[in-house]
Amino acid sequence: MVNYMTDSIAEITFAQAINRALKDAMVEDDSVICYGLGADDPLRIFSTTKDLVELYPERVFDMPTSENGMTGVGIGAALNGLRPVMTHQRLDFFLLAMDQLVNAAAKWHFMFDAKSTVPIVIRLIIGRGWGQGPTHSQHLHAWFAHIPGLKVIIPTSVNDAYHLLKQSIKDNNPVVFIEHRWLHNQKGSIDTNHKSTLSQAAVVKQGTELTLVSSSYLTVEAIRACEFLEQHDVSVELIDLRTVNPIDWPTIYTSVAKTKRVLVIDAGARTGSISGEIVAQVSEMLFDQLLAAPARMAMPDIPEPTSYSLTKDFYFGAKEIVEKIMTMLGIDIDPTQVDSLNVQGHHDIPGEYFKGPF
Amino acid sequence: MVNYMTDSIAEITFAQAINRALKDAMVEDDSVICYGLGADDPLRIFSTTKDLVELYPERVFDMPTSENGMTGVGIGAALNGLRPVMTHQRLDFFLLAMDQLVNAAAKWHFMFDAKSTVPIVIRLIIGRGWGQGPTHSQHLHAWFAHIPGLKVIIPTSVNDAYHLLKQSIKDNNPVVFIEHRWLHNQKGSIDTNHKSTLSQAAVVKQGTELTLVSSSYLTVEAIRACEFLEQHDVSVELIDLRTVNPIDWPTIYTSVAKTKRVLVIDAGARTGSISGEIVAQVSEMLFDQLLAAPARMAMPDIPEPTSYSLTKDFYFGAKEIVEKIMTMLGIDIDPTQVDSLNVQGHHDIPGEYFKGPF
Amino acid sequence: MSDLKHFLQHQKTILETLYLIRDIEEGIAERYPQGKMRCPTHLSIGQEGVPAALAPLLKITDLAVSTHRAHAHYLAKGGCPKAMLAEIYGKATGCSGGRGGSMHLIDESVGFKGSTAIVGNTIPIGVGLALAQKIRQETNISVVFVGDGAIEEGVFYEAANFAALKQLPVLFVCENNLYSVYAPLSKRQPVGRKITDVVNGIGINTAIADGNNVVECYQVLSEQIQQIREGRGPRFIEFSTYRWREHCGPNYDNHIGYRTEEEYLAWKAKEPIARFEQWLADYQLMSPTDMAKIRQQIRHKINAAFEFAEVSEFPSADKLANTIYG
Amino acid sequence: MSDLKHFLQHQKTILETLYLIRDIEEGIAERYPQGKMRCPTHLSIGQEGVPAALAPLLKITDLAVSTHRAHAHYLAKGGCPKAMLAEIYGKATGCSGGRGGSMHLIDESVGFKGSTAIVGNTIPIGVGLALAQKIRQETNISVVFVGDGAIEEGVFYEAANFAALKQLPVLFVCENNLYSVYAPLSKRQPVGRKITDVVNGIGINTAIADGNNVVECYQVLSEQIQQIREGRGPRFIEFSTYRWREHCGPNYDNHIGYRTEEEYLAWKAKEPIARFEQWLADYQLMSPTDMAKIRQQIRHKINAAFEFAEVSEFPSADKLANTIYG
Ligand SMILES: Cc1ncc(C[n+]2csc(CCOP(=O)(O)OP(=O)(O)O)c2C)c(N)n1
Ligand SMILES: Cc1ncc(C[n+]2csc(CCOP(=O)(O)OP(=O)(O)O)c2C)c(N)n1
Ligand SMILES: [Mg+2]
Ligand SMILES: [Mg+2]
């Protein structure tokens, strides 16, 4: 058996990193099982479950379209010594299973006085674009963050995808692991020396003038924004949350105490969002240190529509982030240069390789 | 048929006001139906559905313990000309129905281009005390507020309970109507001249030094706190949210612009709470006007435990609110007087009439 | 056939519906690669028999809800083809104003109350439609389209239980095409168990029919619908059928490994349209020339609908925020 | 009885369990009005027969999950009576440290994996326990206790389907006591439909037994459990039974109108304990004196357990925040 763990791996995709984490976890620990709609089908959940059923036919399986029941099955298996990883191709489908998640998984350890644990990982993939529409694109991480007892991981980088998924599987708590579909083809490398830890945010880029807090796919846009601003001598510190429950407050406080300004960006609907939580908490804790009003950019309180024209300006990206930061800092940059941040080609696909329809 | 509408009604309970609203709505509109576990049983959902089945045997019924399916049934009935009011004796049970609520009810009007509406009201009762424990006491209003398309009503007063429920039933949108179990026996009167409107907060008490934003049962505690402070010459403006989706921002802004200080109290778990949303939004919009850090008091990110000793200091009330406001305003009041705000008798029941176990 | 008279009145509608569904779906498959229909799209090619047989049996005042694979159901219920194609193209003239796409179709004018993208989601909603019909003592019925996969959702069971409890006028039309995405029934439901066993167990009378045999479909549907209209409670019919193309999208995918080319060819050989044409010809109910003429007319209509969809304007995003609430 | 030999070994355990459940529950009912057991409490008085018959048939390595009405199941699985009562009193020595109360019982040392307060919630969890047993190729089984109301939850159907699909070693023990809170079956399930019909339809073999006839319960349970242990898949047994007191709380409530005093008396006349005692006496398997002695011992044990619960310390809230994560 190849020991995948020895070498750092360069240039793989986020989806491959997920696959690698699953494979390594299954190799290392017999008790890991992996199931979900499509876990063993020809497409293997966007290739993230590739090879697994061939390696472990008893531990990898498809399931009936029974999201609530199968979540409970995972909880029971977890209570009886297994470490299930369940995957849903869209977060939205998992709304069927909120009773099992919230009333059972999240509470079990607490309400039975720490007598047992529920080590289950639930991978949820968030859709966007190509007409995903109102029920295939919901960014509901704020919901999971609101439930005591859940850990909620929402990684961006390839390295984090790998390490955080492995640690989620090793963790004794129910973990909701959220993958943005548009990250699946992002490239990066796994650094075996640089293990990310659950419940720690990452300072992706150091900076002095403003703290930008981001997560998941929006961090890709945030990085573009920061690089652009850097070229224009604006120094932004970028924090990638990675975990939204529990939130890594020390990292955020330290940064904001330094920069004295904060912008939080969020792909969830604005009202009741995690960006609100962070703005609120920073305002309460660091009010006297802030030089300007804290701010957030979140999605409008509107479901994602389907039509190409309706999604055209629906999401914000690097350009809008730059514009917001310019306003917050009161600086001017040549608008045509800012416009260069606009995505080339179709706005509703993660890249030109994508030909629909899924 | 008695015309209940002509007279204002004095001294009834919150539960009676709910019952009155249901009865009036059914009298006025043939299309209103009313169902849920216990809707026609001897106890009539804490008496809130009293007399209804006798008046309208075809339009009032119990249901199978099938929360998700029966929510869908209500949505279908609403799409086909009825106005269903569905009740759950605990909010927690309704977690089974998040798919129907979020993926169907909340989105239908929007995703079908306003071609139809879903006029359904879902009454959810929040439990507290007498060992309700982790799964009979969850204050998840923040979840519903995060979903575009839902209206979320969380009334406190008898008058609001009556008018807001009636208007919720008349409204063409899915309304989540949240009743705190400890409000059911609060007394008050219905003022037919003073109709509360959906999506408007109430300024319960005018004040100048600080804005206190509250909702549901906590408003009862907030009123006690404000009265106490008034006696000590501290002038607090109290806002009862009444609706958490959409939130009545103008009322909040106007008040905070006047008082320059804000405290938001919330019975939901802190992280991702509505209190955070309000603190965040006020911080963004009124940063320059605030004289002190905005603050919130919410529940810890811990499920409600069951034991008498564990719930003893679990919830906060008038006393803790007063103490917090004293700190925020930097004032001193004799601690023994503040202590007098402590609830007499058992902390885990809404009043001495209560003998358990429900 | 007991109701031959009716059938003779309906044969043309059935044939038209078969052609309409097949040719509109083929039209979509052909044009999809142009990248103008930018939404997940599930075709019903191969599955036209059941909706076509149902088309003439429903009144405009009957209601229906459907699933992610809704084109055929929408069209069979009389939904406007132009508005459907415009919706798939994301246009303002689309039946959902471009907000819903292929998976979210609606035509209130003909009682098609909506299709949604979450498996099982519309099942209880369809039962709720029937609850209102029953409370108002109508003779209308509600049709709930379900796949063999949707049967696995607990909400199906809950909705069926309630329909049986209250004896509601619901017709469950189950198109068993053997697969849920790439998963055959054997991965999802106990081997040897029939879907109708479950439903009978719940307390709903069931029937089965060969979904490729339009005449049989019509006969079974017409009997069961009659019973529902008479107030004899809900009915569930399971139809065997087969989707020819990939689960989602315009292509064939028999090569990717979840099913065999042979299986596909065996089902294709039983194809509903040719078989129905043959039947009409054999019994001399319609001449091949007349059939060709009908198909020609349908194709004109379809071409016009595609034209309409292509030239229609895109919706503007301005109105989105104003239609969160109704 | 085919397995008479076994039964003779087990009769004492059964009798002890009957007494233990009945007398502990009566003890709770008697003391509840003192206001020291401050949590929703659902008693099993009248329903002792099934858990008592099951008690000797389960190994300590078998697992079980239960519902809001869990006392009898916890005790039958061998759960510690002291820890249960302390839990109901909200004490630190409670099986859940006072966090869960009557509805949240656990005793990992005997394989009682937990009971929860949401109807249907533990059903798939019990099936998941069995999945792990199957993957590890154990001969242990998992027992899922369900009420007639819980059958209506979609999650029951989903869990049963999966258990049947994977042929998991699950025993569903359904105590049909005719009511869900105050709602009789007729308000919730189609008239004339049997719960076992549904379950057979799903593809699980079923059996029925008179829950007041302990000997019959034992026989049916022992047969079915044997089959599960042999790897022949899940089994579902429906037992007729009746709760004597109110749904939640210590009182009688036959006067409030949802059921009649006559109905209650008719069921009480069939009561499981006296009937079993009679049977033991008739067949001269145990003398009334011996039985009385056993009951006396049990009562001592119960009194000691109440004493333990009363004198135990309350838990401190300090540790709550540290046990959100494990
Ligand atoms: C709740 C939920 N789970 C999973 C999916 C993904 N999904 C979309 S279509 C489909 C297949 C459903 O199969 P079936 O009901 O047989 O319909 P068919 O596609 O065969 O017409 C699945 C699993 C979904 N949309 N919703
Ligand atoms: C999801 C959910 N819905 C409703 C309730 C309220 N409730 C508590 S016990 C109960 C009755 C369940 O009946 P059954 O399964 O027959 O058990 P029994 O009480 O008769 O033992 C109900 C409806 C709940 N706890 N959870
Ligand atoms: Mg199918
Ligand atoms: Mg019962």
| The predicted structure's pLDDT at residue B157 | 96
Distance from CA of B99 to the nearest CA of C (A): 7
The pLDDT mean for chain B works out to 95
How far apart CA D243 and CA D45 sit, in angstroms, is 6
A172 CB within 8 Å of a chain D CB: yes
Only one residue has tokens 């059938």, namely C7
The model's confidence at residue B2, banded by pLDDT at 50, 70 and 90, is: very low
Ligand closest to C147 (CA) is: 1
Segment (H or E) for D239: strand D235-240
Contact (Cβ atoms closer than 8 angstroms) between residue B205 and residue B35? no
B136 CB within 8 Å of a chain D CB: yes
Distance from CA of B117 to the nearest CA of C (A): 6
Nearest alpha carbon to residue D140 among D110, D165, D120: D110
Structure confidence by residue, pLDDT tens digits, A242-288 = 999 999 999 999 999 999 999 999 999 999 999 999 999 999 999 99
- C108, two tokens: 């209130």
Residue B349 reports pLDDT greater than 60: yes
Nearest alpha carbon to residue A80 among D170, C189, D235: D170
Q: Counting atoms of ligand 2 from 1, which one is nearest the CA of D42?
A: 19
Segment (H or E) for A245: strand A242-245
Q: Counting atoms of ligand 2 from 1, which one is nearest the CA of B93?
A: 1
User: CA B106 → CA A135, A136, A137, B109, D120, distances in Å?
Assistant: 11, 14, 15, 7, 26
Nearest alpha carbon to residue C55 among C149, C145, C148, C180: C145
The percent of residues in chain D predicted with pLDDT above 90, rounded, is: 98
What is the ipTM for the molecules in this complex?
A: 0.98
Cis previous bond, A64, omega within 30: no
Segment (H or E) for C9: helix C4-31
How does DSSP assign B25-50, residue by residue?
HHHH-TTEEEEETTTTSTTHHHHTTT
Contact (Cβ atoms closer than 8 angstroms) between residue B48 and residue C102? no
Structure confidence by residue, pLDDT tens digits, D76-109 = 999 999 999 999 999 999 999 999 999 999 999 9
Contact (CB<8Å) D317/B133:
no
Output the tens digit of pLDDT for each of chain C's 326 residues: 556 788 889 999 999 999 999 999 999 999 999 999 999 999 999 999 999 999 999 999 999 999 999 999 999 999 999 999 999 999 999 999 999 999 999 999 999 999 999 999 999 999 999 999 999 999 999 999 999 999 999 999 999 999 999 999 999 999 999 999 999 999 999 999 999 999 999 999 999 999 999 999 999 999 999 999 999 999 999 999 999 999 999 999 999 999 999 999 999 999 999 999 999 999 999 999 999 999 999 999 999 999 999 999 999 999 999 999 99
| The predicted structure's pLDDT at residue A358 | 62
CATH topology of domain C4-252+264-312: Rossmann fold (3.40.50)
| The predicted structure's pLDDT at residue A199 | 87
Q: How many CA atoms lie within 13 Å of A38's alpha carbon, on the beta-carbon side?
A: 17
Give the three-state DSSP class for B2.
coil
Instruction: Decide which of C287 and B196 is more confident.
Output: C287
| The predicted structure's pLDDT at residue B350 | 85
Find, in chain D, the residue whose alpha carbon is nearest to that of B308: D90
Q: Where in chain B is the domain with CATH 3.40.50.970?
A: 12-188
Mutate to test the interface with D, among B46, B60, B307, B347 (most CBs of D within 10 A): B307
| The predicted structure's pLDDT at residue D31 | 98
Q: Where are the alpha helices (DSSP H) in chain A?
A: 14-28, 44-47, 52-55, 67-79, 98, 106-111, 141-145, 158-170, 217-231, 249-259, 274-286, 308-311, 318-329, 335-339
Find, in chain C, the residue whose alpha carbon is nearest to that of B66: C158
User: CA B115 → CA B103, C107, D203, distances in Å?
Assistant: 17, 9, 42
Residue A7 reports pLDDT greater than 70: no
Window from A11-25, A247-261, A341-355, B106-120 with minimum mean pLDDT: A341-355
Distance in Å, CA D107 to ligand 3 centroid: 43
Instruction: Decide which of B246 and B351 is more confident.
Output: B246
The pLDDT mean for chain D works out to 97
How many beta carbons lie within 10 A of that of residue B352, not counting itself? 9
The pLDDT mean for chain A works out to 95
Q: How many CA atoms lie within 13 Å of A260's alpha carbon, on the beta-carbon side?
A: 7
How far apart CA B40 and CA C140 sit, in angstroms, is 28
The model's confidence at residue B192, banded by pLDDT at 50, 70 and 90, is: confident
| The predicted structure's pLDDT at residue A5 | 42
The pLDDT mean for chain C works out to 97
| The predicted structure's pLDDT at residue A1 | 33
Structure confidence by residue, pLDDT tens digits, D130-186 = 999 999 999 999 999 999 999 999 999 999 999 999 999 999 999 999 999 999 999
CATH topology of domain B12-188: Rossmann fold (3.40.50)
Residue B168 reports pLDDT greater than 60: yes
> Which of A46, A65, A94 for mutating ligand 1's site (highest number of atoms within 8 Å of CB)?
A65
Distance in Å, CA D189 to ligand 2 centroid: 14
| The predicted structure's pLDDT at residue B6 | 42
Residue D77 per-residue DSSP state: T
Residue A351 reports pLDDT greater than 90: no
Q: Which of A68, A116, A173 sits opposite D108 (nearest CB)?
A: A116
Contact (CB<8Å) D188/B62:
yes
Ligand closest to C44 (CA) is: 1
From the CB of C312, is ligand 1 less than 6 Å away?
no
Q: Where in chain B is the domain with CATH 3.40.50.920?
A: 202-339
| The predicted structure's pLDDT at residue A350 | 85
Contact (Cβ atoms closer than 8 angstroms) between residue A121 and residue A86? yes
A43 CB within 8 Å of a chain C CB: yes
| The predicted structure's pLDDT at residue A4 | 38
Residue B88 reports pLDDT greater than 70: yes
CATH architecture of residue range(s) A202-339: 3-Layer(aba) Sandwich (3.40)
